[in-house]
Structure 1
Amino acid sequence: MLFSKGRIGNLELKNRFVMLPTVTNLAQDGFVSSREMEYYNRRAKDVSLVIVEASYVNKFGKFFVNQLGIDDDNKIDGLKKLSYLLHKNGAKAGIQLAMHNPKYKPVDFTREEIEGFIEDFANAAVRAKKAGFDLVELHFAHGWFVNQFLSPDTNKRTDEYGGTFEGRAKFALEILRKVKEYVPDITVICRINASDFTSDGFNIQESIKLSKMLEEDGADGLNISAGVGATAEYHISPMGLDDKPLLELIKRIKDNVNIPIIAANKLGYANDWEKILKDNVADFIGIARGLIGDPDCIAKLKEGNSEDIRYCIHCNQACLAYILKGLPVSCLMNPEVGRELEFQVKTDKSLNIAVIGGGPAGMSAAKYLAKKGHKVELFEKEDKLGGQLNVAKIPPHKEEIGRVIEYLERDLRKYNVSIHLNRKMTIEEIKDLPHDRVIIATGSVPANLNVNMDAFYWAIDVLAGKLPQGQDIIVIGGGLTGLETAEFLAQKGKNITILEAKDEVGDGIFPMIRKLIINRLKKLNVNIITKAKINHISDKKLSYNLEGVEKIQEFDDIVVAVGNKPDATFKELIDDDKYLFIGDCKEVASAVEAIREGAELSLKL
């Protein structure tokens, strides 16, 4: 069914795949940029419909730094080029119309201002039509502006735009009606929450009622998502949530309307997509992150090469996290995102290049250098590739990290990289290598803890299988590795106490991930102590200061997770131009930065 034709309103669609709208931060002052054109060009060939990212209908509703705009007629020419590009690739062209300004609540606006916002949506739809788009999607979800009117926990108005469900739905319905009035021949769909997943928010019962009302007022289809800012894990679900978290709710909406439904959010694998259609849960499969990570995923499926699909691992580290920082969208697995043309360049002078280290930075460098046309050999001291990714995939809910190793290994074979395992290189051997360039990517080692103690475990060793034998375990360090190690041990029945010197644990962790892991630790009864300054450790007792008061914590074993430092084994080579240092051995960072740095190296050689 995935490749059967479908229909939304007056649009006949060539298959059941829809590219969902995802803010890219690739626009320039609200205008379509060349990078944005290439981003969509790379992804539009195989889907039946592309819904271009959330585009602000007025300046007040612009939320992201480099968000696309559809608020003025001067945007039409650029948008026209984009819709033409989508059509040229064989896709129907849609665009999402949106407002978001979390500084304000529904109660802050006069009726006249609300009527003005309705006009802004309708005028934006007129521009979309003039720019050649076949469809507009009205963004009524995710805690954005219109969703705030729908939700009882944010809409405290007492006039006709608040109070009852009908009052809270009035704004959304009037936007839809006005759009249909101004542009009666354009297909209109609405993106709505199946639930806000908040205690007093918009829920599935209200979503079903709204769906029926939207259908009655002319909506041609519904794109079903969920969650608001505080519960964003339900519309861009991370590893910590199981696949297909919304299907039951989507099915309930589907059973209550007669217009097409687009399913969204972590929909699993290709066989799951087919089953969603066969079970009549939805009419279309919406893909967002999956097309960021692998623009060819649908083509691979159609050609019978589904085993080659590079499925999203739902880390959210370079799509959602980057966008919220105001950076252009990227992807841990695909650093080419938004830079497609840069990575198409081939070398006119093939070099012999050696890469020392088979972790994420080394594997990425080897892949992209070979892809560019260089002859590459990779030397890894262990009996397998992946480096610390092999440990990162061990904690609970982190299994998907293992796919990164699989994808990179597949690409190394594809580009004929010569791989040497169990090759622990000495500095003399590296100096004797005949290669034109040598890439040093040996990663990092655990940082020292400036406390004397007789015996302890490194967190990285614990995750690799060296388990403490005792029952009462202290984990020193409340960063991501410390929290994940604590959860790993707690699930094995250990009694865990985390000691962290900072004011809170999880510093630097993406808020969505931090919230989920801390909630899981609470359920496992892990004891978390912050602002703890360690004094000394002896005789199975640890002394620490807590706000000026000495405390004693007894233990059976200690696990240290205080971060890493660059591997300095080959530091004497750092000033020689023949040797290039990348990844953690240069500066400790995340796998996103390591893979991107490895890829970017190919742009320089």
Structure 2
Amino acid sequence: MLLKEGKIGGLHLKNRIVMLPTVTNLSKDGYVTEKEIEYYRRRSRSVALVIVGASFVNPLGKFFPNQIGIDADDKIEGLSKLAEAIHQNGAKAAIQLAMHNPKYKPTDFPKEKIKNFVKDFVRGAIRAKKADFDAVELHFAHGWFVSQFLSPNTNKREDEYGGSLEGRVRFAVEILKEIKDALPDFTVICRINGDDFTDGGFNIKESIEFAKILEKNGASAIDVSSGVSSTSEYHISPMGIEDRPLLPFTKKIKESISIPVIAANKLGDVYDWERILEERIADFIGIARGLIGDPDLAEKLIKGEETDIRYCIHCNQACIAYIQKGLSVSCMINPEVGREREFEVKTDKPLNIAVIGGGPAGMSAAKYLARKGHNVTLFEKENRLGGQLNVAQIPPHKQEIGRVIEYLKRDLEKYNVKINLNTKISLRDIKEMQYDKIIIATGSKPAKMNLDTDIAPLTAIEVLEGNIPEGKNIAIIGGGLTGLETAEYLAEKGKKVTVFEIRSEVGEGIYPMVKKLLLQRLENLKVNIVTDAEVKDISKGKLMYKVKDRFDVIEVEAVVLAVGNVSDEEFSELKGDERIYFIGDCKEVASAVEAIREGAEVSLFI
């Protein structure tokens, strides 16, 4: 079914795989850039339809700093080049029309202004047609501006654009109708929420009725998503959400209309996609993050190489989190995103290169250097590759991290990297090595802290590696990501856990969606979290701590330290040697995203 031809409106599609829209922040001042063109060129191979993400139809509706625009005629030239790049790969090209500005709500504008916004969408669709796009998608989901009109929670208007469902859908329906009036034969897809996942918000019952209204007024297909800003875990679901969360809504909408339906969000693997189509839950499989991570996904499927697909791990650390920070899109498992041309260069002078350390930075460096054409040997002191990713995959809901190790191991084999496990390299060994270049990627180690205690503390890494503390009452010192995940891990094993954090809030630096879900799970597990807490003394089974001017004591049987990591300085005296490069945590402690990217970037200048 996946490779069977399909149809949306007047578009004949060569298979059932649709690249769904995401903001990329690869444009400049709203204009298409070469980086954006290469990003979509790379991903349009073998998919049936590419939907370019969230082009703003007017300046008020621009939210992201380098978001693509369709608000003026002078942008048509760049948009035409983008559509052409997609067409050159045999895919159909669509572009999403959108407004998003959380500073405003539906009641902020008079009716005349709403009518003007409708015209902005129509003008955007006309520009899309002039730029040779085959279709547009109207963004009516995710709590963006039009979506706010749909929800009783956010639409408090008392005129014909508010109140009943008929009033709340009026804005969206006018956009659709006027586009169809202006461009009768143009294909128009509508992205809607199956459910807002908010109390009293837009729900599946109203969504079904909305889908029927859209079909009646000329919609060519419905793209089913869900969630608003406060519940975004339901349109960009992270690891903590089970696969295929929106299929119940997709199925109900599909059963209620006759136009095609596109399924979206964390849809599992290729076998799940096939089942979704076979069971008529949807007509097309929509993929967004999956094509960021593996732009060759559809091509591998067509060639029968589905076992080689790099599935998204749903970490959201470098796609969604970067975009929301105003950075250009990236990916933990694919640091080439938005830089496709940079990594195509091959060397004409192969070097012999040693990589010391088989964690994420070292594996990435070895992969990219070997792919460029160098002869690479990797040395790892442990009996397996992966470094701290092996620990990162152990806490609940983190198993998908293990895929990163498997992907990198697969690539090391593919590019003939020589791997030496159980090989501890000394400072003397490095000095005597005859390699042309040496990459140091020895990572980091847990930080220590001065603690007055008669209990020998464990580190969080030791616990996650299987050294489960004895006793019931466990204190974890440190409320960052590692501390909180270790708390969940131990609480699920029946331990009574208290987390102490010296700051006023736990989870510093954790992506908000992930933090929200993690804290909810910890609350359900009855993990006690104490902030503004300074641990003073641990003795005779008692832990004394201070919060502001108040002292308190709890019973403890074991203590776990999760106070961060520090760089491995074993080879620091080699810094400055022109033959040697330090990357990853041994250079500066950061996330796996930065480690893998830095490993890849070494190949750009060697």
Decide: shared fold, TM above 0.5: yes
How much has 1:578 moved relative to structure 2?
1.6
The answer to whether structure 1 residue 426 and structure 2 residue 401 are counterparts is no
The whole-number CA distance in structure 2 between the counterparts of 1:436 and 1:551 is 59
* Amino acid paired to 2:388: Q
Residue 43 of structure 2: SS of its match in structure 1?
coil
The whole-number CA distance in structure 2 between the counterparts of 1:436 and 1:541 is 56
The whole-number CA distance in structure 1 between the counterparts of 2:86 and 2:605 is 32
How do residues 371-520 of structure 1 correspond to structure 2 at under 5 angstroms? 371-454=371-454, 455-520=456-521
The ranges of structure 1 where at least 4 consecutive aligned residues each deviate by more than 3 angstroms after the TM superposition are none
* Amino acid paired to 1:368: Y
* Amino acid paired to 2:583: I
Match of 2:343 in 1: 343
How do residues 64-75 of structure 1 correspond to structure 2 at under 5 angstroms? 64-75=64-75
Q: TM-score normalised to the size of structure 1?
A: 0.99
The whole-number CA distance in structure 1 between the counterparts of 2:145 and 2:374 is 51
Match of 2:354 in 1: 354
Match of 1:321 in 2: 321
How much has 1:348 moved relative to structure 2?
1.8
Q: TM-score normalised to the size of structure 2?
A: 0.99
The whole-number CA distance in structure 1 between the counterparts of 2:325 and 2:345 is 29
How do residues 111-510 of structure 1 correspond to structure 2 at under 5 angstroms? 111-454=111-454, 455-510=456-511
The whole-number CA distance in structure 2 between the counterparts of 1:534 and 1:83 is 60
How much has 1:147 moved relative to structure 2?
0.3
How much has 1:577 moved relative to structure 2?
1.7
Residue 243 of structure 1: SS of its match in structure 2?
coil
Match of 2:569 in 1: 568
How much has 1:450 moved relative to structure 2?
2.1
Match of 2:532 in 1: 531
How much has 1:453 moved relative to structure 2?
2.3
Residue 281 of structure 2: SS of its match in structure 1?
coil
Task: Say whether the 8 Å CA contact 2:452–2:536 is kept in structure 1.
Answer: no
Q: Where in structure 2 are there 5+ consecutive unaligned residues?
A: none
The whole-number CA distance in structure 2 between the counterparts of 1:472 and 1:325 is 39
The whole-number CA distance in structure 2 between the counterparts of 1:401 and 1:474 is 26
The whole-number CA distance in structure 2 between the counterparts of 1:48 and 1:456 is 56
The whole-number CA distance in structure 2 between the counterparts of 1:439 and 1:78 is 41
The whole-number CA distance in structure 1 between the counterparts of 2:453 and 2:432 is 41
Residue 498 of structure 1: SS of its match in structure 2?
strand
Structure 1, residues 536-595: CA drift from partner, whole Å, max 9, x if none? 222221111112111112201001100000011111111222221100001000000000
Match of 2:523 in 1: 522
* Amino acid paired to 1:510: Y
* Amino acid paired to 2:304: G
Match of 1:555 in 2: 556
Match of 2:23 in 1: 23
The whole-number CA distance in structure 2 between the counterparts of 1:477 and 1:225 is 37
How much has 1:88 moved relative to structure 2?
1.2
Match of 1:45 in 2: 45
The whole-number CA distance in structure 1 between the counterparts of 2:23 and 2:430 is 45
Residue 55 of structure 1: SS of its match in structure 2?
strand
How much has 1:452 moved relative to structure 2?
2.7
The whole-number CA distance in structure 2 between the counterparts of 1:304 and 1:313 is 22
The whole-number CA distance in structure 2 between the counterparts of 1:433 and 1:553 is 54
Match of 1:102 in 2: 102
How much has 1:329 moved relative to structure 2?
0.3
Residue 236 of structure 1: SS of its match in structure 2?
coil
The whole-number CA distance in structure 2 between the counterparts of 1:275 and 1:576 is 56
RMSD between aligned residues: 0.7
The whole-number CA distance in structure 2 between the counterparts of 1:603 and 1:179 is 46
Structure 1, residues 194-251: CA drift from partner, whole Å, max 9, x if none? 0000112100000001000000011010000000001000000000001000001100
The whole-number CA distance in structure 1 between the counterparts of 2:80 and 2:442 is 48
Structure 1, residues 170-202: CA drift from partner, whole Å, max 9, x if none? 111011001111111210010000000011210
Task: Say whether the 8 Å CA contact 2:452–2:538 is kept in structure 1.
Answer: yes
Match of 1:59 in 2: 59
Residue 161 of structure 1: SS of its match in structure 2?
coil
How many residue pairs match? The answer is 605
Match of 2:598 in 1: 597
The whole-number CA distance in structure 1 between the counterparts of 2:353 and 2:573 is 19
